[in-house]
Structure formats: structure tokens, C-alpha cells
Amino acid sequence: MIKNAEIVNQPYAGEFEERIYDNESPWNSASWTWIKFTDSDYNEWIGQFRGSPREVAVSEIKSETLVLTSDYLFRLDNANGDLIEFEDQPQYQNLTAAPTGSFILSDYYNIDKIENTLNDKISISSPIEMDMIKFKKWNDRKLVFTCDEFTNWDRHLVMELDADKLTIEITDEQK
């Protein structure tokens, strides 16, 4: 059972048990991401994923892990590390697992919550049009992130997404 996952540098050959996650496509980049997984018995293994590294998030509640690279969004089963599904050419820049167990993603302009599959997403509305979204941290059940107001790039904001209500509010304006 996967309990932890972190992006690491390419390991030495034979240092860990390794699994390759790839999809044959003419659009694949030459880049790879290495994720070190730790299971409930503290065993470690490496997953090699096609694309440059972006984010990884583990949801123990859903018993799933998402790996976001420049080429793919991979969805894994925490019980065995098997690939459940993937989305190719994702535009997402941020990924996190909410305290509710849900996965939250964003591109530069929008924030989505994944429902039952990678194709089943709910768009979370914002009080402003956003640009350059960057997830920062969780404060209890609220995700703190920064963004600029779209078409007003001098307005830099700190925002919070409430994981329970799926609402976004402005909490601070950066100068």
C-alpha cells in the first residue's frame, strides 16, 4: 500500500526495484520523472514516468496516487502501484490531495476537482478570473495559493480554496 511518494533524481541502476510507466506516442518528450514510493512496511521502490516532473500527490482516503508530468497525468492504485488510467498532454501545473481525499488540479487559469475518473472533473469557480496559479500549502482544510488577476497582472493575490465547500476567496493582496 503506497503511503508516501516524492519526486527524486534518477537513481543508480539496481539501487531500487523499478517500474516504468509509459505510453507509446509520437508526442512523447525525451524527459523522464522518477518517483520514490514508500509503502506501509517502509519498503521503497521507484516509478519512472514519461515527461518532465511537475507534482505527485497521494490520497490514502481514495487509495490512489496521481503523478503529473509534462506529458501525462497518471492515476495509480495505492494497493499495488498499478496504472488505473492516464491523461495525455495535460495542461495542469499544480496538483495536491485535499484533506477530504479528493485531488485538486490547476492549469494557469482554472482549478478543478477530480471526481471518479480523470475525465470527470468539477471546475471550481473563483471570485475573479485568475492567471499564474501556484499552490502553496494546506492550512487545515483550506488550500492557500497565489495568482494574478487575469488582464490585471499588477494585482497579485493570496487566495484560499475551502476543501469542504469548494469555494475560493481572496485573503490578501500582495504588493
Helix (H, G, I), strand (E, B) or coil at 141: coil
> How many other CB atoms sit within 10 Å of the CB of residue 68?
25
Lookup: cell for 121: 472533473
Whole-number pLDDT of residue 175:
66
CA-nearest of 136, 142, 135 to 163 is 142
Lookup: cell for 101: 481525499
Q: Radius of gyration of the chain from Cα atoms?
A: 17
Whole-number pLDDT of residue 153:
82
Residue-level pLDDT, tens digit, the chain, 175 residues: 999 999 999 999 899 999 999 999 999 999 999 999 999 999 999 999 999 999 999 999 999 999 999 999 999 999 999 999 999 999 999 999 999 999 999 999 999 999 999 999 999 999 999 999 999 999 999 999 999 999 998 999 999 999 999 999 999 987 6
- Is the Cβ–Cβ distance between 50 and 70 less than 8 Å? no
Return d(Cα 5, Cα 65) in angstroms, integer.
8
> Is the entire prediction scored with pTM above 0.75?
yes
User: Which of the 8 DSSP states describes residue 125?
Assistant: P
